[in-house]
């Protein structure tokens, strides 16, 4: 199996070198980039399996860059940044990141997070056979990972697709929050993590749901989320 390719984008060159050496030792193929303006070109030509972005980058804001990348890039995307506030982390997830890790971080913790992301991706790709789900005018194809609503293609991140697939394939059934975290995020719900809530909010926007009174993806207080099967006509 070919080595997983990682595009490491960090403004701190010394820190980047240490992380790159650790990843290379662990069998990853690593390309380092230090300037925000070059990232889109590198993603297009290098085609990494994982992009590790800093928020503060010369030439380009990491948050804006992530949003731009997500227009075409469907691989894993991780923010590795010293900006540690809850707002920064929520923004990072809202613009399309799959995870957000705050610096300083122990290298072994960072490595474990990266391996967990790839392990989760593998489990999602192999857990269920290829198939299609339809709820009225909403259709999802697992093989191509494409979503259409009223015959219009929607642009979703990898984890947005997995979350929507889980809800749509079990339409009409309340999905427990703990189950969602285990199947979509690859970890247990700790009572504080808001990443799934952020992804549900992003999905509602893309699916033209009412953000104040959702009628397509409903929140079931104290339990989780429910995709309404007859709300897509």
Give the mean pLDDT of 74-96. 90
Query: What is the structure's pLDDT at 129?
Result: 54
Contact 141, 149 (CB under 8 A): no
* Dist. CA 127–CA 14, nearest whole Å: 39
Phi-psi region of 136 (alpha: psi -120 to 50; beta: other; left: phi over 0): left
Q: Both 174 and 94 in a single domain?
A: no
Q: Both 119 and 138 in a single domain?
A: no
Q: How confident is the model at residue 43 (pLDDT cuts 50, 70, 90)?
A: very high
Q: Both 191 and 209 in a single domain?
A: yes
Domain end (from 101, 125, 149): 125
Contact 19, 46 (CB under 8 A): no
HSE, CB side, 13 Å, CA atoms: give it for residue 228.
14
Contact 97, 90 (CB under 8 A): no
Q: Both 96 and 143 in a single domain?
A: no
Is 196 contained in some domain? Answer: yes
Query: What is the structure's pLDDT at 114?
Result: 92
Q: Which stretch of DSSP H or E encloses residue 224?
A: strand 224-227
Is 233 contained in some domain? Answer: no
CB atoms closer than 10 angstroms to residue 14: 8
Beta-strand relationship, 152-154 and 146-149:
antiparallel
The residue range of the domain holding 12 is: 5-125
Q: Both 60 and 153 in a single domain?
A: no
Tokens of residue 165, six digits: 């697939």
Q: Residues 91-133: pLDDT tens digits?
A: 898 888 888 999 999 999 999 999 888 887 766 665 555 578 8
Q: What is the Rg, in whole angstroms, of the alpha carbon atoms belonging to the chain?
A: 18
Is 102 contained in some domain? Answer: yes
Query: What is the structure's pLDDT at 28?
Result: 96
Q: Taking each helix axis from N to C terminus, what angle separates 86-94 and 195-206, rounded to the nearest 10 degrees?
A: 40
Is 48 contained in some domain? Answer: yes
Is 56 contained in some domain? Answer: yes
Is 31 contained in some domain? Answer: yes
Give the CATH number of the domain where residue 88 resides. Answer: 3.40.50.2300
Q: Both 73 and 112 in a single domain?
A: yes
Q: Residues 177-228: pLDDT tens digits?
A: 888 888 887 777 888 888 889 999 999 999 999 989 999 999 988 889 999 9
CA angle 80, 85, 91 (to 5 degrees): 70
Is 165 contained in some domain? Answer: yes
Query: What is the structure's pLDDT at 120?
Result: 74
Q: Both 22 and 132 in a single domain?
A: no
Query: What is the structure's pLDDT at 127?
Result: 54
Q: Both 148 and 97 in a single domain?
A: no
HSE, CB side, 13 Å, CA atoms: give it for residue 152.
7
Query: What is the structure's pLDDT at 101?
Result: 93
HSE, CB side, 13 Å, CA atoms: give it for residue 66.
29
Q: Both 94 and 163 in a single domain?
A: no
Give the mean pLDDT of 164-175. 91
Q: Both 94 and 169 in a single domain?
A: no
Q: Both 19 and 111 in a single domain?
A: yes
Q: Both 84 and 132 in a single domain?
A: no
CB atoms closer than 10 angstroms to residue 161: 21
Query: What is the structure's pLDDT at 128?
Result: 52
- The number of domains in the chain is 2
* Dist. CA 108–CA 26, nearest whole Å: 11
Query: What is the structure's pLDDT at 19?
Result: 97
CA angle 13, 35, 71 (to 5 degrees): 130
Give the CATH number of the domain where residue 145 resides. Answer: 1.10.10.10
Task: Name the average pLDDT for the chain.
Answer: 89
Coil, strand or helix at 21: helix
Is residue 53 over pLDDT 90?
yes
Q: Residues 16-33: pLDDT tens digits?
A: 999 999 999 999 999 999
Query: What is the structure's pLDDT at 147?
Result: 94
Is 77 contained in some domain? Answer: yes
Domain end (from 93, 125, 157): 125
Domain end (from 125, 160, 175): 125
Token look-up 């809202």 returns 94
């Amino acid at each position: 199996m070919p080595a997983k390719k990682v595009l490491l984008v960090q403004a701190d060159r010394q820190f980047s070198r240490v992380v790159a050496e650790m990843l290379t030792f662990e069998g990853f193929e690593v390309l380092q980039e230090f300037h925000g303006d070059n990232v889109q070109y590198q993603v297009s030509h290098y085609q990494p399996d994982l992009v590790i972005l800093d928020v503060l980058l010369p030439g380009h804001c990491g948050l804006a860059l992530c949003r731009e990348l997500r227009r075409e890039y469907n691989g894993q995307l991780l923010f590795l940044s010293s900006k540690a506030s809850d707002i920064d982390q929520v923004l990072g997830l809202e613009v399309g990141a799959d995870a957000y890790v705050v610096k300083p971080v122990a290298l072994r913790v960072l490595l474990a997070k990266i391996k967990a992301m790839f392990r989760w991706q593998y489990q999602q790709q192999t857990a269920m056979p290829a198939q299609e789900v339809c709820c009225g005018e909403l259709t999802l194809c697992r093989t191509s990972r494409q979503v259409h609503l009223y015959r219009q293609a929607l642009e979703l991140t990898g984890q947005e697709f997995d979350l929507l697939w889980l809800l749509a394939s079990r339409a009409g059934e309340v999905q427990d929050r703990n189950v969602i975290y285990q199947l979509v995020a690859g970890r247990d719900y700790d009572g504080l993590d808001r990443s799934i809530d952020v992804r549900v909010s992003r999905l509602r926007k893309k699916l033209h749901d009412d953000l104040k009174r959702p009628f397509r993806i409903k929140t079931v207080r104290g339990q989780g989320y429910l995709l309404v099967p007859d709300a897509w006509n």
